[in-house]
Amino acid sequence: MRIKDAINRVLWSEKDKSSFSLVIRDREKGSSNIPFDVIERVDNTYIYLKDSEDVIPLHRVLEIRKGKDLYWSRYPKPDL
Domains, the chain, with CATH or none: 3-73 (2.30.30)
Query: Could you give phi then psi for residue 35, rounded to 5 degrees?
Result: -70, 145
Query: Which pTM was predicted?
Result: 0.86
Q: Is the pLDDT of residue 78 over 90?
A: no
pLDDT digits (tens, 9 = 90+) for 38-49: 999 999 999 999
CA dist 57 and 43 (Å) reads 10
Predicted confidence at residue 76, as pLDDT, reads: 73
